[in-house]
Structure 1
Amino acid sequence: MSVTPTGHQDAGTTSGVGVLIPRLTGLTRDDFAHLVWARSARLTEGASDFSDLFSAAAVDELVSRRGLRTPFLRVAKDGATLPESAFTAPAGAGATIGDQLDDTKLWRAFADGATLVLQALHRTWEPVADLVAGLGAELGHPVQANAYVTPPQNRGFDAHYDVHDVFVLQVEGTKRWTVHEPVLPAPLRDQPWTDHRAAVAEAARGPARLDAVLRPGDVLYLPRGWLHSARARGEVSVHLTLGVHPWTRHALAEQLTRAALAALRDDPGMRDSLPLGTDATGAETERVRERLLAAVATADPTPSFHRAHRGQGRPAALGPLAQLAALRALGPTSPVRLRDALAPRLEGARLSTRVGWLDFPEAELPHVARLLAGRVDTAGDLGVELAERLLRAGVLVPADR
């Protein structure tokens, strides 16, 4: 069922097929963008089989064998988050750090009805990391992933809203979701639901916009601000929440303002001290307003926006030993490729990425452009010297034949 009707060069621009269509919504990217994105909740039944991404066995592996520490896990029961001391402990000789997950404590809390929340799963579980990287590239907004593991007939949190959009992927078990429309549409990151606790509680007592049971393979999309609560049914529920942290017009306005203020630093008149005794009203305020508006009209927020955008994500994993082996064996026929999730951007002679920037002589720029366009297969396609430089920088990685 559904609540709604069904001079710069960047690399990695997506055409819109990718992850979103086959796995999450069954819609084309354009249909999702125009009919659903940031507009309304949507439940897609039987969207996909998510057993390749996560499972109950993965939960046990992460909790008991990976040596995870806080804040990679938190525990909640009846709407409250338990203190870290309730589920952490040192792990014996050679691992005496005190904030490591204690699987015995976690088992006791879980058996007593607590929900386990595995946070930042895109950093600890490779299949989820790959999904998050693909979805983030497709949407153009940063994505993170948590897993919620709830024992039968229990809930983790009361009705609340998130300040990011979410895709809920039901992996195992079933969970009943109750969804209400926002009390604060499209909240910003500094406008949490706790600032509107009374309004949220009152709205949650009213008629639900959506009341449904999610089964394995179902996906629920919720724009930021939509109220929701969930309760597991007769078996353990495991679901993934993909949190999409959208760039907003407000965020772009912040970048534009910063660019304008940076330009005003070069204006001697704006560096002048205000007259003695001024109260920042009248003529002085109007003078500043006029110059600020002029600076905003000509400011270019693009460089700072792209820096901020790159800073919200991580490049794909890089193995130091494999990288060194590739560097030592490098020759014209060595297979190489651009490292994934770099968010590369070529501006003039400078390539900016999530691992830093590099400047190139004019003769190398066509080769760099071919690399960004995906038309490089071997070190010889680039030139071995350039390939070596990019391998050392972590921009290029060895490719499988």
Structure 2
Amino acid sequence: MNETDPLGRLTGMTAEDFATQHWATAPLLRRAADLPGGGFADMLSPDAVDELVSQRGLRTPFLRMARDGSVRPPSSYTRSGGAGAEIADQVADDKLLAELAAGSTLVLQGLHRTWPPVVDLAGALARQLGHPVQVNAYLTPAQNTGFDPHYDVHDVFVLQFTGRKRWRIHAPVVDAPLRDQPWQDHRAAVAARAAEEPLIETVLEPGDVLYLPRGYLHSASALGELSGHLTIGVQPVTRAFLASRVLDLVSDDVELRRSLPMGVDLGDPDVLVGDLKATRDALHAAVDRLDDADVVATIAAAVGRHLSAGTRPAPLGPLAQLAAAERVSADDVVVLRPGLRCTLGGPGDRDGTVRLRLPDKSLNLPERLADAAARVVTGDPVTVADLGREHGLEADDAAVLVRRLLLEGVVVPA
């Protein structure tokens, strides 16, 4: 997997071309012959699925099953883990086999957290797209359909890794739906649209890729044999998110805090006309009073927190980190942990310190180490010796900084 250009592997396009021609606007179908990488068996395979469900102790919600358009109860494919694993919802391989034999689709959820090749792909793709990514796998027995026609509230890349599956794609009934606009709220419209001629009807073979912006209706049926595909879900940050953050900034405006009138029916549209106009005017005035630079900085920080909550940096080995921290030497090379969002700046909690802000904590560093820490957070690899030499630090100071950053999971050995 190309760590620097996962989009190239998935689409055969440059990131710039994909952004202008397809991102969030138009489906894309790519055949295996037109893509680099030779398919996706390295990401997941039937043997890997067998290992996951029989040897890795998966629990709900990391898997679920569906049949005839309905989700199956967890009790139909889980049981107690037995001695030493006193949990009630561990996957039971024999029960799962019976479900598959009866035509159920197996959904492996959150593979971006449980299966190393998928973890790597999801992390690299999230960094390239700039939006959070999740990955599920769907395995459907021959001649079966896992889910009724529906749309997702996130963009998807479908990667066929085994078998064949027929897909039917229809235009949206809700353009660019948000997370609080699920397809179940539009069942009649979805059913009516799904009865029309599809925009795309195609069979995905191993190595094929289908990209669908959120809102596009889709359904899929396995053909002739077990079919498996990965679905990469991209959860975009939207303008609606920015708008909600702007509203947060002006919600304390005194005109917006005014009470509505008493002694009237507030459910009557005629009663609300005046106050709705006053509210709209107050919003306009409050937003116009905001300082653009302050707004951008504040909202950028909010987006950063949102992304930190929705993404995870590259995995690190706690034991390897501990060992590296115990033997820091001048020749060691370290690099910012890939995908870690952090900022350096502003005073710390104590005089003479500077704060390094991480997703769920902050570190106070001695002010004399600020320039060296700033060098680390650029993301470029650096040796301990160079870190000290470039920023006028004693060798011991550079080693102490690197040791702490290793123990805090900020840097990793390069």
Please state which band the TM-score falls in when normalised by the shorter chain.
0.7 to 0.9
Partner of 1:397: 412
Q: Aligned pairs, how many?
A: 378
Q: Does 2:232 match 1:246? A: no
Aligned CA distance change for structure 1 residues 87 and 317 (closer, same or farther; 3 Å): same
Work out the CA distance in 2 between the residues paired with 1:136 and 1:35. 19
Tell me, yes or no, if the aligned pair for 1:17 and 1:28 is still in contact at 8 Å. Answer: no
Q: CA deviation at 1:284?
A: 7.2
Matched, 1:45 2:31: yes
Corresponding residue number in structure 2 for 1:292 = 286
Could you tell me how far apart the structure 1 residues matched to 2:355 and 2:222 are?
Answer: 52
For residues 343 and 123 of structure 2, what CA distance do their matches in structure 1 show?
A: 17
Which of 355, 375, 381 is equivalent to 1:376? Answer: 381
Secondary structure at 2:341 match in 1? coil
Q: SS state of the match for residue 301, structure 1?
A: helix
Do the aligned residues in 2 keep the contact of 1:167 with 1:242 (CA within 8 Å)?
yes
The alpha-carbon deviation at position 278 of structure 1 amounts to 9.1
8 Å Cα contact 1:165/1:244 also seen in 2: yes
> With CA pairs under 8 Å and 6+ residues apart, which has the higher RCO, 1 or 2?
1
Which residue identity is paired with 1:19? P
Cα displacement (A) at 1:195: 0.5
Aligned partners of 1:118 and 1:146 also within 8 Å: yes
CA distance 1:237–1:290, shift in 2 (3 Å): closer
Shift of 1:44: 0.3
CA distance in 1, matches of 2:260, 2:150: 50
Structure 1: runs of 5+ lacking an equivalent: 1-15
- Give the deviation of 1:353 after TM superposition: 2.9
The structural deviation recorded for 1:352 is: 2.8
Shift of 1:345: 3.3
| Alignment correspondent of 2:393 | none
Q: Which residue of 2 aligns with 1:311?
A: 309
The 1:205–1:335 alpha-carbon spacing in structure 2 relative to 1, beyond 3 Å, is same
Cα-to-partner distance string for 1:58-114 (whole Å, 9 max, x where unaligned): 100010010110000000011110011111100211112111111111000001111
Alpha-carbon distance between aligned partners in 2 of 1:291 and 1:270, rounded to the nearest angstrom: 10
SS at match of 1:198: helix
What SS does the corresponding residue of 1:235 show, helix, strand or coil? coil
Equivalence for 1:343: 341
Q: What is the match of residue 64 of structure 1?
A: 54
Match of 1:147, SS? Answer: strand
Q: Which residue of 2 aligns with 1:354?
A: 359
Q: Percent identity?
A: 49
Kindly report which structure 2 residues correspond to 1:147-162, keeping only aligned pairs within 5 A, or say none: 147-162=137-152
Structure 1 179/328 Cα, relative in aligned 2: closer, same or farther at 3 Å?
same
Match of 2:322 in 1: 324
Q: Mind listing any 5+ residue stretches in structure 2 that lack a counterpart?
A: 265-271, 347-353, 388-397
Match among 83, 99, 105 for residue 93 of structure 1: 83
* Displacement of 1:341: 1.4
Per-residue Cα deviation, 1:264-295 (whole angstroms, up to 9, x for no partner): 4xx7x579875995989559757854653345
Shift of 1:346: 3.6
Q: Residues 35 and 332 (structure 1 numbering): CA distance in 2 closer, same or farther, change over 3 Å? A: same
Q: 1:93 to 1:212 in 2, by over 3 A?
A: same
Alignment partners' CA distance in 2, 1:203 and 1:286: 36
Q: 1:201 to 1:284 in 2, by over 3 A?
A: closer
Deviations 1:210-231 (A, max 9, x none): 0000001100000000000000
Question: Which moved further from structure 2: 377-386 or 269-278?
Answer: 269-278
Counterparts of 1:350 and 1:56, CA distance in 2: 48
- Quote the residue 1:213 is aligned against: 203
Two-structure CA RMSD over aligned residues (Å)? 2.4
Helix, strand or coil at the partner of 1:309: helix
Matched residue of 1:229: which SS? strand
Counterpart residue identity of residue 37, structure 1:
W
Give the structure 2 partner of residue 116 of structure 1: 106
Give CA-to-partner distance per residue, 1:345-400, whole Å, 9 cap, x none. Answer: 3455543333533344554333223223343332333311211221121101223x
Give structure 1 regions of 4+ aligned residues with deviation exceeding 6 angstroms. 270-273
